[in-house]
Chain A
C-alpha cells in the first residue's frame, strides 16, 4: 500500500510545530553568546556555512569534492594578507576572500569537471594538495607560523569587531543571509537541474542542457561561499595557517555534511555543530582528533548513511505515511 505514496511529500510536522522550532532556533542563536564563549560560536557558524556550501555540490549536484580546503584556506590567506599587510578594511578583505575562493573554485571546476565520479574526487584532492604545497613554499604565507595577528577592524567603520559579541552577531547575520541564499538556490530552477544531473546526467544532456556549465556554476558558487567561511574564520581567530588548506579540513567538512545529512538544508548545520564540538572536547583529552573523526566517519557510513537530520526526517516521514495509509484503509472500510 505504502508504495503508492512514495513520491507523495507529506507534511512531517504541523505548521505551529514548524514555526515553533524555527522560533526556538532563532532564540537560541541570539541568546547563545550569553551562555557560551562567543569565539567558539563564531567557529561553529563558520563551519556551518562551510558545510552548507560543500553540501550545495555534494548533496544537490552529487559531486564529492575532497578539495574544499583550498577555497577555505586560500580565502583565509587572502583575507589575512589584505587586512594585515595591505591594510584593507574588513568588508573589502572579506570580498577579496570570496573572490579568491570563487576564483580557485572556477579553475578547479574547469579542470575537474572533465572527469566524472571518483576521478572527479581524486582530481579535486590533488589540486587542493597542490595549493597546499604552494602555500608551504610561498613567502607571504609565513610557512608553519601562518599569518598571525590579523586585525579585525570595523564593519562599515561603525561596528567595532574587536568586541567578540559584536563579531558574533555580525557573523551570524552574514551566515544566515548565505544560508538563505543557498536555500533559494536549491529551490530555484537551477537547483532542480542540479538535482536532475545528480540523478541522471546523461538524461539531462539529452534534454539539451550543458551539464558542465551547470556543474561549473554550482562548484564556483560553493567555492565562493566556502571562501567567505574561511575569510570569516581568519578574521575571528586573526590567523590563517597551513591547517586551513590541509586535506584534513576537506575531510572534516565532508564528515560534517555526511553526519548531518547529505542533501538536506539543516543537516550540514547539525553536522558542523557536532564535529566542531568533537574537536573542542578532544583538544584537552589527548586522544588524536583524526582517530576519532575517522571512527565517526566509518560508523556513520556503516550505520546511518542519511545522517542525524536525514534519519530523523526519514523516521517522521515513515510515521506520517503509515498514518495516511491507515486512514485510507479505514476510510474504505467505513464506506462498505
Chain B
C-alpha cells in the first residue's frame, strides 16, 4: 500500500475528502452569513437552524409527498427562503434601527425555537435520507474509492459558491447590492427599492442555507441539532476569514474543512477543536481575520 508521512494514502485522501465535504458546507453557510451581514448588518444566528430546516423540508418532501431529490433541490431553498422572507418582513425589519444586539438575540431565539419545534415533533434521533439513484455508486480513482454523491456535493457547492460570487461581483444586480451595502440612503435616492432588496437578500441567504441542508441530508443524519452544532464552527470560520469578502469566506471554509480532515489523521483527539485553535491563532496574529477589511 502506498504511504505518505507513514499514513496509508487511502486513509489520508479519504479524510481530505471528508474535510472537503465539511468545508463545502462551511463555505456555503459562511457565504450566506456574509451576504446577509454585508447588507443587513445582522448576524443571522438562525443560519444553522435554516440549514437544519432545509434538511427536514427535503426529507419531508420525500417522505410525505414523494418528491424526489432533484425537484427538492429547487423546492427546498424556495420554501426556506419564503419562510425567511416572512420572518424578515414581520420581525427582523423592526430592529434595524436598534443596537445589533437585538437582531442577534432575535435570530438566536428563532434558532432555539426552530430546534425545539423539530425536536418536539421528530425527537432527538436522526432520520436518514437515501442517496438518489442517479448519484449512487463509487468512482475508483486507483488510490481511493470516491462515492459519486460525495463528489457531486463538492462540485455542486463549489459551483454554487462561484455563481454567487459572479452574481454579486459581476452583474448589475450585484452592483446594486454592493452599492446598497456601502450607502443605503444614496441608493434609495436613485429609486431603488432598498427595503425589498433587504428582504430578498435575507431570503436568498437563508435559501442558500436551506439548499445546503438539502444537499447534506443524504450524507449526515437529518436531526434537529444538526444546525446548532454546525453554526458555532461556521462562526469561527467567519471570524477567521473575516466577512469582508465573498471569495474569502469560500476559501476559508474549504481550507478549514480540509485542515480538520488532516487533523483527524494525525491528531485524532484534537480534530473537534482544530477550527477553534486556528481561530485563536488568527486572532492573536491578525485580529481582523485573513480576508478582513474592518479596523
- Please list the residues of chain A having a beta carbon within 8 angstroms of any beta carbon in chain B: 64, 66, 111-112, 114-115, 117-119, 121-123, 125-127, 129-130, 133-134, 136-137, 247-248, 251, 254, 258, 287-298, 300-302, 305
Contact = CB atoms under 8 A, between A and B. Distances in A.
A122 B109 contact: no
Interface string B252-289: 00000000000000000100110111011001100100
Contacts of A115: 239, 283, 287
B125 to A, nearest CB: 14
9 contacts: A122-B43, A122-B238, A126-B236, A134-B273, A291-B113, A294-B109, A297-B108, A301-B105, A305-B98
B112 to A, nearest CB: 3
B14 interface: no
A176 to B, nearest CB: 29
B272 A133 contact: yes
> Interface SS of chain A: helix, strand, loop or mixed?
helix
Contacts of A137: 269, 272
Q: Which 8 A-B pairs have the closest CB atoms?
A: A291-B116, A297-B109, A294-B113, A294-B112, A290-B116, A130-B276, A298-B109, A126-B236
B94 A302 contact: yes
Interface string B168-196: 00000000000000000000000000000
Contacts of B279: 123, 126
A114 B115 CA distance: 32
A290 B113 contact: yes
A127 B112 contact: no
Given A294-B111, A297-B109, A129 B116 contact: no
A288 B232 contact: no
Contacts of B276: 126-127, 129-130, 133
A302 B116 contact: no
A294 B114 contact: yes
A114 B120 contact: no
Interface of B: 43, 91, 94-95, 98, 100-102, 104-106, 108-117, 119-120, 228, 232-233, 235-236, 238-239, 269, 272-273, 275-277, 279-280, 283-284, 287
Contacts, number: 116
Nearest to B90: A302
A201 to B, nearest CB: 11
A298 B113 contact: yes
Contact of B235 (A126, A136, A291): A126
A126 B115 contact: no
A130 to B, nearest CB: 4
A51 to B, nearest CB: 15
Given A129-B232, A247-B228, A298-B110, A290 B115 contact: yes
A289 B235 CA distance: 24
Contacts of B114: 294
Contacts of A121: 43, 104
Contacts of B110: 294, 298
B91 A290 contact: no
A117 B100 contact: yes
A28 B239 CA distance: 47
Contact of A291 (B112, B236, B277, B284): B112
Contact of B106 (A133, A247, A301): A301
A123 B239 contact: yes
A256 to B, nearest CB: 12
**Residue of B98, B280, B284 with most chain A CB atoms under a 10 A cut-off:** B280
B235 A125 contact: yes
Nearest to B231: A125
A291 B272 contact: no
Contacts of A298: 91, 106, 109-110, 113
Nearest to B42: A118
Contact of B109 (A111, A288, A295): A295
Contact of A111 (B102, B275, B283): B283
A111 B112 contact: no
A244 B283 CA distance: 27
Nearest to B276: A130
B89 to A, nearest CB: 13
Contacts of A292: 116
Given A125-B232, A251-B108, A289-B116, A111 B284 contact: yes
B293 to A, nearest CB: 13
A111 B116 contact: no
B281 to A, nearest CB: 10
Contact of B105 (A111, A129, A254, A288): A254
Nearest to B115: A290
B270 to A, nearest CB: 9
A289 B113 CA distance: 9
Contact of A119 (B91, B112, B239): B239
A289 B102 CA distance: 21
A192 to B, nearest CB: 20
Given A111-B283, A123-B283, A126-B236, A118 B113 contact: no
Contacts of B108: 66, 251, 254, 297
B273 A290 contact: no
Contacts of B101: 64
